[in-house]
Structure 1
Amino acid sequence: MLMAFIDTNPMIPEFYKNSEYGPHVAGQQPERQLDWLDKLLANSDARWKIVVGHHPVYTAGPRTENYDTLAVRKALQPVLEKHKVDVYLSGHEHSMQHLKNSHEHFHQFISGAGSEVTPVRQNLTYNRFVAAEYGFMYFAVNARQLRCSIVDHEGKTTYSTVVSK
């Protein structure tokens, strides 16, 4: 299994002009990170390829069409698809989500509901599961399956799914 952790902040052009975020991304070269990720994935023969970043590629939360989501999608989606990444994990949204576009290879899981909960849109075509609830996700991976379970703040499993190879 290959897990690659990336910094999505430099992929958002608006951050470079922002007084709060600008100093943290100044001088960063997102194309170099994307090139590194492209080569890492291309040279991997791992059965499972998982990429982890802060910002989602898609979301059913309040940032569905925000500049940050759109920028990360534009920068990252082609690399994820090119290398048939199995899972993209992110946060940023304060909800629990499993998303999968029918025309794309990767599943996206968003777990960001530990400190705050924000609304989700139920009617998006790529939703597999979305919930505005406190909780966390856990994953179990073997050679043939990746299992994700979502557990709410009371310890109840509210969703479970298996991605198979």
Structure 2
Amino acid sequence: MTSCLKESMVFRVIFITFFFCLLVAPSIAELQRFKHNQKANRPLNFLVIGDWGRKGTYNQTLVAKQMGILGEKQDIDFVINVGDNFYEDGLTGVDDPAFYESFVNIYTAPSLQKTWYSVLGNHDYRGVVEAQLSPILREKDSRWVCLRSFILNAGIVEFFFVDTTPFKDDYFDDPEDHTYDWNGVIPREAYLSNLLKDVDSALAQSDATWKIVVGHHTIKTAGHHGNTVELEEQLLPILKANNVDAYINGHDHCLEHIVDSESGIHYLTSGGGSKAWRGDIKPWKPEELKLYYDGQGFMSVQITKNKADIVFYDVFGKVLHTSSIPKDLNPAA
């Protein structure tokens, strides 16, 4: 075999391998964007709920009722849903009745007939992931918007929704007798690398007054699951480098507000949509832990150019905690 022929064959092998990798390696390419046309001279109002999908049990219906009452009072723009949408094991398909039993037939208040921007939780990954991502569900209920990762532009605020479940090593190394649907994620290393690059790039290019990242898993928490080490190591440096104002999550079944004393990032947990964990709290710096409530409830946020007002409510609509985050519009002055 001549030298030229050998080189030609090697080139073909390299080309075919490269082309095959392009086909099989999951690539976010560019995060899909949604736009909310915010009315001029009006604050942005939204609710945050997570860890809810239990067909109305564990006080899910009571939380939904209070969300409806407050949603009408504040004339909310949309709902942010931070995952674990259908317990225990996600949806079996687009025709799974749980979509109606845990979502459509529960959040019936007129004020909640707004778009629900949703991410997946670890329990959702135990079912058929593509079912929750399918446009068929949006045909069944136009409120439902669920993607792995995406961006929501709402004028002065830009939200970066991040698929956090594939970051957790335990779900791959020690699945605890659970089966996870990793279609669209494997090979994992490429998936996470692309995702981190896209989030970093999108945050760096954003000129929004407020930058908020949304995910299911905790980064910092005094709750049951503890800090997600993989997110601390891989995602948190990106949040810090791009001056993110807040990280909103669920996963821990509680309501919680932590302000990092070094970075100033606000960690807001709203995982009280149904089942809660009583008395399950770890030690935390008292100067950072502004709220830890081990019961059901939800969170409301109202944002203007100058400040973000955060309120946590319990299952009866009682205010548990309020906080106002100021925005310095002239940081260099």
TM-score by length of 2: 0.46
- Which of the pair has the greater relative contact order for Cα pairs under 8 Å at 6+ separation? 2
TM-score, L = length of structure 1: 0.91
Q: Residue 79 of structure 1 is aligned with which of 238, 242, 250?
A: 238
Q: Provide, for residues 96-124 of structure 1, a one-character-per-residue CA deviation record: whole Å limited to 9, x for no partner.
A: 00011201231010000111111342640
Q: Deviations over 1:58-80 (max 9, x none)?
A: 11111125xxx111221111011
Aligned-partner Cα distance in 2 for 1:58–1:88: 9
Whether 1:144 and 2:303 are equivalent positions in the alignment is no
SS at match of 1:26: coil
Q: Map of 1:10-49 to 2, 5 A cutoff?
A: 10-17=166-173, 18=175, 20-21=179-180, 23-24=182-183, 25-28=185-188, 29-49=191-211
Residue identity opposite 1:114 in structure 2:
G
Structure 1 contact 95–110 (Cα < 8 Å) conserved:
yes
Q: CA 1:31 to 1:93, structure 2 compared with 1: closer, same or farther past 3 Å?
A: same
Are the structure 2 counterparts of residues 40 and 96 from structure 1 closer, same or farther at C-alpha, using a change threshold of 3 Å? same
Question: In the comparison of the two structures, how many residue pairs are matched?
Answer: 162
The 1:42/1:104 distance shift into structure 2, 3 A limit, reads same
Partners in 2 of 1:120 and 1:60 — Cα distance?
Answer: 9
Name the structure with the higher strand share.
1
TM-aligned CA deviation for residue 152 of structure 1 = 0.7
Query: Is 1:108 the counterpart of 2:267 in the alignment?
Result: yes
Quote the offset at 1:6 in angstroms: 0.8
Asked if residue 63 in structure 1 is aligned to residue 236 in structure 2, the reply is no
Q: Is the 8 A contact 2:224 2:282 kept in 1?
A: no
Coordinate RMSD, CA, aligned: 1.6
Three-state SS of the structure 1 residue aligned to 2:198 is helix
Query: Measured at CA, do residues 120 and 148 of structure 1 come closer, stay the same or move farther in structure 2, by a change above 3 Å?
Result: farther
Work out the CA distance in 1 between the residues paired with 2:193 and 2:266: 24
Q: Deviations over 1:6-49 (max 9, x none)?
A: 10012123323435236354334111111100000100111100
Aligned-residue identity in percent: 30
Report the 3-state secondary structure (helix = DSSP H, G, I; strand = E; otherwise coil) of the residue aligned with 1:80: helix
- Cα gap change, 1:9 to 1:153, in 2 (>3 Å): same
Secondary structure of the residue aligned to 1:103 is coil
User: Is 1:81–1:105's contact at 8 Å kept on the other side of the alignment?
Assistant: no
Q: Which residue number in structure 2 is paired with residue 4 of structure 1?
A: 160
Task: Show structure 1 runs of 5+ residues with no match.
Answer: none
How many angstroms apart in 2 are the aligned matches of 1:154 and 1:4? Answer: 30
1:158 paired to 2:316: no
CA distance in 2, matches of 1:60, 1:20: 28
Greater Rg by CA: 2
Answering whether residue 293 of structure 2 is matched by residue 131 of structure 1, we say: yes
Matches within 5 A, 1:92-103: 92-103=251-262
Stretch moving more, 151-160 or 21-30: 21-30
Secondary structure of 2:182 counterpart: helix
